[in-house]
Amino acid sequence: MTATKHWFTRGLALSICLSMACGGSVAGPEESSMSDAPDAGVTETETTDFEGFAIAPPGPDFKPKQPFEDRLAAAVARAEVASVLGGAFVQVTRAYLTGRAPQSDLERATFATLDTVDSDTMAAFARMIEGIDDLPSESATRLYDRRFLLSRPTSVLTADALGSAFKDELQTRISLQVFGDADASECLLNERPGLQRTVPCFDIDGTRDSSCNTVCRVGEPGLRTSIRTQGFEPKLRAGDYEPEEIASTCTVDENNQFVCVDTPLAECQGPIGAGGTCLTVPTAIRGGSVTFQGFNFFNVDAQIRLTNTVSGQTRTVPAHVCGDVTSGPDVTDCNVNDLVTFTIPETTPVGRYRVNVLVPSSEPGEPAFSTDSRDQPFLDVLPSANSNFDISSQALNCVEETSPERFGSDEVGLTVITTPISVDGTFGDLRQTDTTFGNVDTGDTRSMDDLHFSGAIGGAIGLSIVGFEIDGQQAYKDRIRGFQDAYAAVLSTLYGQAAGAIGGGAGSLTGALLTGATIGSVTIGAGAAALIGAGVAAATTAVIVGGVALWLPPDLIMEDADGFDFGTMSRLTSANFQNPVRHERRSADGIKVIVEPCEDGAGNNCEGSAKNGNEYRERRLYDQSEEDSRYELILRYRRTN
């Protein structure tokens, strides 16, 4: 493409933007907002100011939307990590609009994608970039990575630079997931000892030892899912256990119902909790990683000893320690959040193990000590495998449409993106599924049959879910979809370039987490893959929200980012394991997300047992308080071989 065509495209984009009443500078004090007349019966005070949005306001059949200034303030307040891909979009699109020729492989690929964008959407892109340029510096750099915002149109963007920045973003997001700390060097890439706490207990020979450690929970890295141990403090009562924490035998009966029967004490071969409750034994796959949460992990030279309960054979593996330095030294229960992560070696025989955390004494010359033998957690080591899985949507349920209902029905646009990550650390292609539902009212259900992923899970799958309340005239909806499609295409190109640079780089994040390289002083195995998948999903969600939810009038009503490794998918789709417990969290943009198994009496396409053969179905509820809306998405996970 010649420079003349680029300059013409930019001029056309800007002229179209002005003709569409895109508005001027976001920060400009003399600019006026423009919007079409609202529905009959709406008072003047109920009109919406669309100044700042990247495209024209909708027609008269729209529901009032949040003002741009309110969205911006909320987005800035909630931003934990600046978006690298969002910043790269700004830099490369700005360079494209100047008309200069591409000067790197990344620019050639991205410019070719931008060549396919229609003039209306390019006008919106130009307006969006102008709006970002006019944001206060503090706001802009909280939303978009400053390394790209501060670049000039003549600056050349390369895949290596983008890959390095994207790796930094993923490290930050994973560190937030695992340790609640945005500083990845604090625990993700290094180690930190916890505090030594005086904990009276008895050593294996019955002598009193005032320095033992306690394991409270066993789970995946970051304790995304976890099982409380028999040593949990303060002590649990018999009725305190969650269903998945109680050992049971589960089957699918003749009516295809998932049925579990608690294991009686006389048959218990694992840990025993309060009231003689037989407790679940956590599982891990060979080559996967496990995290213990507990207290008194005060030395980074801690190790893990695995003892086979049948053969008595032992092996010791290194551990990665991240101590809780916030809780005071007088706190000696499971409110302390010391974390120790380790990897099950690939050569570990399949079977049941007792696990000791060996923490060297802080006093010179004293021997190492371990957790009281009565409270050593059990762990079942399972073989790794290569099953194929499907992830699909079955239904969208409108529990409560956006307010005010008198303005008519909702029109919902749903985007689901999956990102596979292979065992060798290679990032796969983004797969995007877009679905639109019109005339959605409170109580409505829309059946779906959208397949989001199908195949083998090597390392992990990242899952990103974003939903908008669109409504408006057809031309307006088409313009929104055109913007989203073009924006996604450009981001997909940038993601591919960044992923390729990370996947092929020595010492890369994926290589370190997935292929046995060392982070800090411990080898982290494939079990941490789910964290990378979730990190990629969070980054993908953030860049969509920062590019669509902020700069287009449609309101964000659904937002989610998750990751699944092979072990998680295997447990979900196996009748040998209990259903996971209900889980609640907040999305990056503040939407309440509730994830729970389907059940009898649930209704709305979630009726019946959550498990049926090799299938598991769950309900994800999105409660958007700012819009007074609640939507449910019914997902199905299925093992196909």
The model's pLDDT over 137-150, given as tens digits with 9 standing for 90+, comes to 999 999 999 999 88
Q: What is the distance between the alpha carbons of residues 36 and 56, in angstroms, rounded to a whole number?
A: 9
Lateral strand order in the sheet of 338-343: 226-228, 214-219, 289-295, 338-343, 320-322
Of the pLDDT bands very low, low, confident and very high (cuts 50, 70, 90), residue 231 is: confident
The answer to which of 127-136, 255-264, 375-384 has the lowest mean pLDDT is 255-264
Of the pLDDT bands very low, low, confident and very high (cuts 50, 70, 90), residue 405 is: low
Of the pLDDT bands very low, low, confident and very high (cuts 50, 70, 90), residue 420 is: confident
Residue located via tokens 């639109």: 436
Does residue 602 or residue 304 have the better pLDDT?
A: 304
Does residue 19 or residue 61 have the better pLDDT?
A: 61
Q: What pLDDT is attached to residue 62?
A: 67
The answer to which of 349-358, 370-379, 409-418, 568-577 has the lowest mean pLDDT is 370-379
Please state, rounded to an integer, the average pLDDT across all residues of the chain. Answer: 79
Residue 115 pLDDT > 90: yes
Q: What is the distance between the alpha carbons of residues 623 and 390, in angstroms, rounded to a whole number?
A: 26
Q: What pLDDT is attached to residue 582?
A: 85
Farthest-apart Cα atoms in the chain, separation: 85
Residue 48 pLDDT > 50: no
* Per-residue b or e along 608-618, where b marks 16 or more CB atoms closer than 10 Å to that residue's CB: bbbbbebbbbb
Q: Over the stretch 496-510, which tens digit does the pLDDT of each residue have?
A: 888 888 765 433 444
Residue 264 pLDDT > 60: yes
Of the pLDDT bands very low, low, confident and very high (cuts 50, 70, 90), residue 83 is: very high
Residue type, 607: E
Residue 571 pLDDT > 60: yes
**% of the chain residues with pLDDT over 70:** 78
Of the pLDDT bands very low, low, confident and very high (cuts 50, 70, 90), residue 354 is: very high
Residue type, 497: Q
Q: What is the mean pLDDT of residues 514-522?
A: 34
Q: What pLDDT is attached to residue 590?
A: 86
What DSSP designation does 528 have? G
Does residue 405 or residue 565 have the better pLDDT?
A: 565
Residue 330 pLDDT > 50: yes
Residue 212 pLDDT > 70: yes
- Residue 322's contacts (CB-CB under 8 Å, 6 or more residues apart) are 178, 179, 186, 187, 191, 192, 338, 339, 340, 341
Q: What is the mean pLDDT of residues 443-467?
A: 89
Q: What pLDDT is attached to residue 538?
A: 86
Helices (H), 558-607: 566-572
Of the pLDDT bands very low, low, confident and very high (cuts 50, 70, 90), residue 576 is: confident
Residue 524 pLDDT > 80: no
Q: How far apart are the first and last CA of the chain?
A: 49
